[in-house]
Chain A
Amino acid sequence: MKKNDFLHKHQKTLAPLLSLVLIILVTASVTPGFLKITFVDGHLFGSLVDILHRGTPTALVALGMAVVIATRGIDLSVGAVIAICGAVTAVLTVNTDWPVWIVILCALGTGALCGLWNGILVSVFNIQPIVATLILMVAGRGIAQMITEGQIVTFHSEVLDAIGNGYFLAFPIRVWIAIGLILLTVIVMRKTALGLFIESVGANVRASRLVGIEARLLVMSAYVFSGFCAGLSGIILAADIRGADANNAGLWLELDAILAVVLAGASLAGGRIYLLLTVVGVLIIQTLTTAILTSGLPVQYNLVVKATIILAVLLIQSPKTRQWLSGLFPKKEGDKKGSTTP
């Protein structure tokens, strides 16, 4: 009974975790060597490390997206902001002799500024988030192209190289950066009242205003944070290829990020979000992508297979399916009832 109780209480947490484990196990049985991790020159290598490495930019963007979605918003512009910040990084590195840390600060600042623009449109001018951020989604790539003057700007910088592909304590540096920001965000959201306020505003803005929560500022800062995260992601992606590609950097990344937040059990109608589960959601998406690429499946199947599996995960999580499943197995339902009513 006690075990059942635990399962019931943590159902929401377990679903994405189990999905991830399942996907990894299935892939491992299809692709030999998928779970193999080798230790060479103080670096870890293997498909699993590769998943972490490649998942980093999406994880960062999803982190910001989760906070925005908690406020009952959405940020479609993150892919374009990645392109802008990548372009800023590249152009400043090539055209100025500023120290690298100033270049990085400029790029991060640009990201935050893009977020501020979205935030002002949403919370001051009350434009619907999907429309407000669509503006920058479209214009952003144009801005990035203007910054790079339509070229793919390549650069060389040791620090940026390290951010893109370097290692620290056996793991890629960019993974450490992501872990750092994720932990910082969790601490700020859960160890101060910020998370409570943001979720409260997203779930019921009228009630939140009446208890004195200043919703407007909170919503605006959520977008600024999302822009900042996209900026960091943009620096990493530019550093990875040692260049800024205004057309393709971060393309469609916003959709993966939204998907990860939803996989983690959040509702697009605002309210509760689950930051660590969002990271699990990112890992699910990245594992699928890597698995399909390494499985030897023809490239053209990639997108359809990925979409099908994600659909399956979402269906498993939907309350309707659960109802239907428990209808199929009435005995199990009885067990559950027994455990919830003491």
Chain B
Amino acid sequence: MSNFVEGAQVVTRPLLKIDNLSKSFTGVQALSGVSLQIKSGEIRALLGENGAGKSTLIKVLTGVYPRDGGDILLDGNAINAADSGHAQRLGISTVYQEVNLIPTLSVMENLTLQHQEKVFGLISWKKAEIRAKALLAQVGLDIDPLRQLDTYSIAIQQLVAIARALSTQAKMLILDEPTASLDSDEIKQLFDLMRRLKAEGMGIIFVTHFLDQVYSITDSITVLRNGECIGTFNTAELTRSDLVSHMVGKSLEELAPSAHDHSIQRERKALLALNNVGKQRYLQPLNLSIAAGDIVGVAGLLGSGRTELCELAYGSVKPDQGEIRLGKHSLTKFSLRRAIQVGMGYCPEDRKQDGIVAELSVRENMILALQASRGWWSPISLSDQQGLVEDMIQRLAIKTPDMDKPIGELSGGNQQKVILARWLITHPALLILDEPTRGIDIGAHHDIIQIIKELCEQGMGLLVASSELEELVMFAHRVVVMKDHHKVSELLGEDISEQAILRTIAS
């Protein structure tokens, strides 16, 4: 790793120095010994996959979470922010992905919310307006500060958020995925502003998932993975494929061809067929077919369209073009309930929001999908429920004291198994799993991979989206590679390797 920049900057004192920072949440080490330095006038990309520790780092930096250990130095002074307001007064301002302003207040009120201009102890709206205009001018905006914020586009709101972040003589600006909801013109506007701030000597941390943007705006890149700092690199000296392999934790050279048997069963008829299925501003049209006993993996970086593909295939988001067929049924016009009745199943990525019903019991959560497909008037008797649930608890080795415990009290891995069991009970022909192993412990991780393989042997078709390439290579017969919301390639049989997937993502 010759392209470390740390050693090169002994002369100038860094603007921000993070030394050996650690943070853990009940047993999970979210950050371990992270160190990095940023000069003034430097734009630093902070990259990493989900769960790498980016947002934890930002939250520890701005005092949202207290740290377990380590030092943060701003301009050479050790700082210890108590909350984000305090951090802002110290000189570190943050703009979050979801605009963190109050939509029903005016632009001016939003800009002066934390600090009002006062005359004799009363707010002077005249002064506030002048100040708001000055702040807006700083980010190159010429809008009416008296208008309500939500009458402006998201892009303008984002710039207003930055204006507010700059209102307190910030030395460091943290932009957490500011471009996620912007179009290309708006991004250009944002980048112009970033360059201007850079010229004024501001240090900027830029979090994004778009590699193109990383290469067009940043000076250097810090990669986090599993809470550890993998390294800091000069953007100009780091190739894309090296960057991707740092992010996912595999270097292309290290990867030996996989020994897994990827025998392709071409002759079998398609179970699920997506013909030119797409949706505007969501997913570019694509084709995909899955036969019974096939495991098709979906690879790609975060935000590449993995989840979008799963949602469209399942039908929870309706495509605006193309046709989805499952066996002899055309699913395009089906309600979810009908789709489930003819054999669809879906374990969503966000287990907490979309999967579990936390206050209901393990038993109720498990039978929910089957019961929903039967309808409310045709209840599954309690003894049948207990039989089904007991069976699944045994088969999937779910650890719960009893089946009437609220599912919210179980560990993540066991919750995931219950959700999996919810679908297995319905005997689906095709099961879609979005990140089935996210955020669960190693034991449960192993169990779930085993279950996936067994299901495939029993003739179920599986569509599995995952950010863990190792996992996909282990079980997938085919891998669909997604990038920027379209399918870039489909790897088959012998061609499936982590190396090949990485190369396709980076290309």
Contact = CB atoms under 8 A, between A and B. Distances in A.
A211 B356 contact: no
Contacts of B358: 203-204
Interface in A171-209: 191-194, 196-197, 199-200, 203-204, 206-209
Contacts, number: 78
Interface string B177-188: 000000000000
A180 B353 CA distance: 38
A209 B364 contact: no
Given A199-B360, A206-B353, A211 B422 contact: yes
Contact of B336 (A192, A194, A212): A212
Interface string A268-294: 000110000000000000000000000
Interface in B318-362: 335-337, 339-340, 346, 348, 353-360
A199 B365 CA distance: 11
B377 interface: yes
A200 B368 contact: yes
A211 B367 CA distance: 10
A200 B357 contact: yes
A335 interface: no
A267 to B, nearest CB: 9
Contact of B373 (A206, A208, A212): A212
B316 A196 contact: no
A333 interface: no
B376 interface: yes
B356 A207 contact: yes
A211 B340 contact: yes
B379 A193 contact: yes
B369 interface: yes
A20 to B, nearest CB: 25
Given A203-B360, A207-B353, A212 B372 contact: yes
Nearest to B338: A212
B371 interface: yes
A143 interface: no
Nearest to B340: A212
Interface in A199-233: 199-200, 203-204, 206-214
Contacts of B336: 209-212
| Chain A CB within 10 A, most for which of B335, B355, B372, B373 | B372
B337 A212 contact: yes
A211 B376 contact: no
B335 A212 contact: yes
B313 to A, nearest CB: 13
A210 B357 contact: no
A193 B376 contact: yes
A294 B277 CA distance: 72
B143 to A, nearest CB: 30
A293 to B, nearest CB: 38
Interface residues of B, number: 30
Contact of B376 (A197, A208, A209): A197
Contact of B372 (A191, A197, A199, A206): A197
A221 to B, nearest CB: 10
Contact of A272 (B359, B375, B379): B359
B423 to A, nearest CB: 9
Contacts of B368: 196, 200, 208, 211, 213
A211 B360 contact: no
A147 B340 CA distance: 49
B379 A204 contact: no
A196 B359 contact: no
A166 B316 CA distance: 54
A191 B378 CA distance: 10
A196 B364 contact: yes
Given A196-B368, A211-B368, A213-B372, A206 B354 contact: yes
Contacts of A199: 360
A21 to B, nearest CB: 27
A319 to B, nearest CB: 14
Contacts of B376: 192-194, 196-197
B365 to A, nearest CB: 9
Contacts of A211: 336, 340, 368-369, 372, 422
A193 B364 CA distance: 10
A210 B346 contact: yes
Contacts of B364: 196, 200
B357 A204 contact: yes
Nearest to A196: B364
A272 B358 CA distance: 11
B455 to A, nearest CB: 19
| Chain B CB within 10 A, most for which of A197, A207, A272 | A207
Interface in B384-415: none
Contacts of B360: 196, 199-200, 203, 271-272
Contact of B335 (A210, A214, A272): A214
B433 to A, nearest CB: 13
| Chain A CB within 10 A, most for which of B346, B348, B379 | B379
| Chain B CB within 10 A, most for which of A208, A209, A210 | A210
A197 B371 CA distance: 9
Given A191-B379, A193-B376, A197-B376, A212 B357 contact: no
Contacts of B335: 212, 214
Nearest to B347: A210
Nearest to B336: A212
Contacts of A208: 357, 368, 372
A197 B337 CA distance: 13
Contacts of B316: 209-210
| Chain A CB within 10 A, most for which of B369, B373, B376 | B376
| Chain B CB within 10 A, most for which of A199, A213, A271 | A213
| Chain B CB within 10 A, most for which of A192, A194, A212, A214 | A212
20 contacts: A191-B379, A193-B380, A196-B364, A196-B376, A197-B371, A200-B357, A200-B368, A203-B358, A203-B360, A206-B353, A206-B354, A209-B316, A210-B316, A210-B355, A211-B372, A211-B422, A212-B335, A212-B336, A212-B372, A214-B335
Given A210-B316, A213-B372, 13 more contacts: A193-B378, A196-B376, A203-B357, A203-B359, A203-B360, A207-B348, A208-B372, A209-B336, A210-B348, A210-B354, A212-B337, A213-B337, A214-B337
User: Which are the 5 A-B pairs with shortest beta-carbon distances?
Assistant: A212-B337, A211-B369, A212-B372, A193-B376, A204-B357
Interface of B: 316, 335-337, 339-340, 346, 348, 353-360, 364, 368-369, 371-380, 422
